[in-house]
Structure 1
């Protein structure tokens, strides 16, 4: 069994995939677009939706993260940026955490800067330029292994 993350975007999923692929140095998978969907008279394709991302994924540090643009006008899902999902990245190396934090905060908002906490020698939170909340932390590999 695996837990995977599915992130929805408002037309900028392709840009998000490019950004996260660069940040986490992971290869991009095939991007399926809404143009590849079979024709359905019950759900006509909205204008300019054909290049939106229907589905793609990245393998980020062992976890599959799925990406999709919300299909405009479908009524299946409406897009709302929010803080109901936070992705946690941890690593035993401080330089790795500082580098990831610096990249993710570029164009975003720092919620809490990197600092020592009672649970981590270095922890911070950032909302990136796509409205995704990240918790970034160093863990002690000898005790949390």
Structure 2
């Protein structure tokens, strides 16, 4: 099970696009994104994020049975928002399967599923 507490947030300072400790580069932006977007409860990737009214960024993903796992990424900053901006554009496996079922296989599904498939296809195509 992944760690729930990420101590590097308090111990390291952020300079540009890297985390630095005592003048030594610890992590670059890609590694920071990998650490921040992984759920500390189950290890799955975040599907989206949101900013609370008190200025903290939370990431989350659906966990099944109408539940979601959410975790605090840190205080709102331009660096975090730009780092996580592509998380919303990522397409989940469920969305890929839905697009394949609706548009490629031509299965009969409800209107809600068709709308979800259209949104997922627009996300895939970058529209």
TM-score, normalising length: structure 1: 0.22
Instruction: Answer 1 or 2: which has greater helix percent.
Output: 2
TM-score, normalising length: structure 2: 0.24
Compare relative contact order (CA 8 Å, sep 6+) and give the higher one, 1 or 2: 1
